[in-house]
Amino acid sequence: MATSQQLEAIKGAKVLMVGAGGIGCELLKSLALSGFTDVHIIDMDTIEVSNLNRQFLFRQSHVGQSKARIARDSVLRFRPNMSITPYHANVKDPDFNVEFFKQFNVVLNGLDNLDARRHVNRLCLAADVPLVESGTTGFLGQVTVHVKGKTECYECRPKPAPKTYPVCTITSTPSKFVHCIVWAKDLLFAKLFGDKTQENDLNVRSGAAASSSEQPEDVFERKKGEDVHEYGRRIYDHVFGYNIELALSNEETWKNRQRPRPIYSKDALPDQPAKLNGNFELSNSSDDPLPLSAMAALGMKNPQEVWSLSENSRIFLEALKLFFEKREKDIGNLSFDKDDQLAVEFVTTAANIRASSFGIPLHSLFEAKGVAGNIVHAVATTNAIIAGLMVLEAIKVLQNDAKNYRMTYCLEHPSRKMLLMPVEPFEPDKACYVCSETPLTLEINTEKSTLRDFVEKIVKAKLGMNLPLVMNRSALLYEVGDDLDEDMVANYAANIEKVLCELPAPVTNGTIVMVEDLQQEMTCNINIKHREEFDEEKEPDGMLLLGWNQAPPTEKDNNNHVINGVSTSAELPSVEVVDDVDMEISEVAPVKKRKVLDTPVDTNNKKKVEEVNDDDEDDDVIMLEGNNPEYGKKRKLI
């Protein structure tokens, strides 16, 4: 039961919610039932069918409509006197600036991507508004509190980075199923159905074409009048047969590797149709109101069964045929979407055929979809638990009860009979370039790298600035904005293509460059250190930013699934988890100790809890940083 002071804080609060998805729906419901009366919601997404199994404010009839607006309408049905203001927009839009954030008493985040989280974190710091962060991945979840000057900001600790793979591994020497998925999704699917003008590493010229001076023929281009079945088999034979044979011609590559097996359609597909998955019944999908599906057209009914090579081959060719017969107008503009059934079927079967060639275990459609969409399937109960914890922390923030702020982790397996592990927040990191404005160092070849390289790879990609301004002392080198005159735009357009050392105010070894984002009201100084050479594999950007907190990515272990750098069997997750997104990291920098509470603290109970004897090893909770025991730190139970 809430105290009178808590009720007073709740009723007088103006709350901003960012995100109306899995966590957001539960959060808005919990805020309404807790007595909050003034809530604003920002979400740019519309409702999809796949949302309905866990976002309970939405119904089938709402598909295609704004999440923020429908969430408001659903809650107003049982809390009609509540004021809920929805914004169907991107939180990074210029309208949501520092002045906008200043009107709120607390901001509650239910986002699903790091870029938007960092943006909100910076706006909250600039506006001096407390932020309550959250995230869930399957059965894991966490809630963290970020108050300027009192606790660490969201960017004080390393954050997981999406894994990228060397092109040579993807195109030539895959060893894991995820490599085959990336190949099928980012190369083959994009080549056949995406933007034809984009470069693609998939196209392999024939020996004759490569040795001639004539323009090589694009084997992926469908010939005029070519039957779609013939085209499909030609593509199949080229990517799974000819390309593999071409790769085998390089004997050096396979000295210490298992040699792949070329697969041609005549070998994978017998002349007579086989009985597929116990159900081979050709169906007329053209009149079916359900989403277009190759597996349905072939009578395949079980997405959780692992198909044979023959079954994968049939579905692959059927999916390709359906794209050209039923969705031809979309070809050339398609990009992979995990909610596009036909795209998922195509990518799954292409990945499985390639996996079969390289001796990699095949996966079901259900498993492959999770890998292709970076999905760890959401659990509605975890979302509800995390939303409830967010409301509890928001109430503490509104009462300025700083000594009782808690970072609370939701565990998959009990630790000391607890599934919820409250932890004292960290203090601000004095080395954080966001909340402490500590200068960064950039190692870069100032004689080869351009200002565009610096802006795109560092300022935008790593520092997360949206509207950057770049200065060298008093010289303005680059700026983005709608209010620039033509001369300024032309000047910056000329600068952006220049090598750093050839700019009007040259950037060389020892230069201190200031970058600023006026929307986020954030400034950062970067010390430039000239460096001649970089390792292309370890430092593919051709530059190295030091002092920037982001954890290096890792790959999934086949036996122990990694979720945001945390094994599902780990006792206590110590990195961010995000709603419906599977981010992977290998390690996090060692951090300071903090106390783990055996039970949540009652804000009204001031009685101290005795410390447990340090000699008893069983009384220690080991927090694994980044699933790496080397970084494990003991936290005393108190």
Sign for the pseudo-dihedral over CA of 232, 235, 237, 239? negative
Task: Report the pLDDT value the prediction gives residue 612, as an integer from 0 to 100.
Answer: 30
DSSP secondary-structure letter at 188?
I
Q: Which CATH class is domain 4-158+378-423?
A: alpha beta
Other CB atoms within a 10 A radius of the CB of residue 309 amount to: 18
Strands 468-472 and 475-479: antiparallel
Q: Report the 10 Å Cβ neighbour count for 101.
A: 21
Fold of 440-546: 3.10.290
Question: Cα torsion at 301, 305, 311, 312 (round to 10°)?
Answer: 110
CB 442 within 8 A of CB 527: yes
Give residue 112's Cα distance to chain centre.
7
Q: What percent of the chain has pLDDT over 70?
A: 77
How high is the pLDDT of residue 608? 35
Q: What pLDDT is attached to residue 574?
A: 40
Task: Give tens-digit pLDDT for 42-96.
Answer: 999 888 877 888 899 999 999 889 999 999 999 999 999 999 999 999 999 989 9
Give strand pairing partners of 517: 468, 522
For residue 384, which of 25, 12, 20 has the smallest C-alpha distance?
25
Q: Is 152 left (phi over 0), alpha (psi -120 to 50) or beta?
A: beta
With CA atoms as reference, report the closest residue to 396 among 209, 61, 145, 92.
145
pLDDT given at position 598: 45
Asked if the model's pLDDT at residue 588 lies above 70, the reply is no
Among candidate residues 151, 95, 142, the one with its CA nearest the CA of residue 121: 151
d(CA 319, CA 223): 19
Can you tell me the distance from the alpha carbon of 571 to that of 486, in angstroms, rounded to the nearest whole number? 58
CB 444 within 8 A of CB 531: yes
C-alpha distance across the termini of the chain, in Å: 26
CA distance linking residue 158 with residue 188, whole number of Å? 34
Note if 180 is an active site residue: no
pLDDT at 622: 29
Q: Which helix (H) or strand (E) holds 228?
A: helix 228-237
Contact 330, 360 (CB under 8 A): no
- Give the best-scoring range by mean pLDDT among 2-6, 82-86, 421-425, 617-621: 82-86
Confidence band of 553 (pLDDT split at 50, 70, 90) = very low
Provide the CA 301 distance to its chain's centre, in angstroms: 30
Q: Alpha-carbon distance 543 to 545, whole Å? A: 7
Per-residue pLDDT of 489-529, as tens digits, reads: 899 999 999 999 999 999 999 999 999 998 898 999 999 99
Distance CA(366)–CA(238), nearest Å, equals 27
Tokens of 31: 């805020």
Q: Which residues contact 208 (CB under 8 A, 6 or more apart)?
A: none
- Give the residue-averaged pLDDT of 190-211: 63
Does position 262 have pLDDT exceeding 50, yes or no? yes
Q: Which of 144, 637, 134 is nearest to 417 (CA)?
A: 637
Across the range 291-301, mean pLDDT stands at: 87
Q: What is the pLDDT of residue 626?
A: 34
In which region does residue 157 sit, left (phi positive, over 0), alpha (psi from -120 to 50) or beta (all else)? beta
Alpha helices in 12-113 (DSSP H): 22-34, 67-76, 98-102
Instruction: Quickly state the pLDDT bin for 1 (edges 50, 70, 90).
Output: low
22-34 vs 67-76: helix crossing angle, rounded to 10: 30
Who contacts 317 (Cβ-Cβ below 8 Å, separation ≥6)? Answer: 229, 232, 233, 236, 265, 269
The residue annotated as part of the active site, out of 153, 168, 435, 524, is 168
What does each C-alpha distance from 578 to 145, 382, 522, 565 come to in angstroms?
15, 12, 24, 12
Amino acid in position 425: P
* Dihedral sign of CA atoms 515, 520, 521, 522 in order: negative
Residue 548, C-beta contacts closer than 8 angstroms, at least 6 positions apart: 433, 440, 462, 463
Q: Is the dihedral of CA 18, 24, 27, 31 positive or negative?
A: positive
* pLDDT attached to residue 48: 80
DSSP state of 143: E
Domain 175-359 bears CATH identifier 1.10.10.520: yes
Question: How far apart are the C-alpha atoms of 44 and 119, rounded to whole Å?
Answer: 15
- Report the alpha-carbon distance of residue 107 to residue 318 in Å, rounded: 48
The answer, yes or no, to whether residue 613 has pLDDT greater than 70, is no
pLDDT beyond 70 at 381: yes
* Greatest CA separation for the chain: 85
> What distance lies between CA 61 and its chain's CA centroid?
28
Which of 240-244, 430-434, 596-600 bottoms out in mean pLDDT, i.e. has the lowest?
Answer: 596-600
User: What's the confidence (pLDDT) of residue 568?
Assistant: 29
Tell me the residue length of the chain.
Answer: 638
What are the domain boundaries of the chain?
4-158+378-423, 175-359, 440-546, 576-637
Q: Is it true that 4-158+378-423 and 175-359 share their CATH fold?
A: no
Q: What's the whole-number mean pLDDT along residues 533-543? A: 86
The answer to whether the beta carbons of residues 204 and 341 sit under 8 Å apart is no
Report if pTM > 0.85: no
- Per the structure block, which two tokens stand in for 420? 């919820």
**Quick one: pLDDT at residue 217?**
65
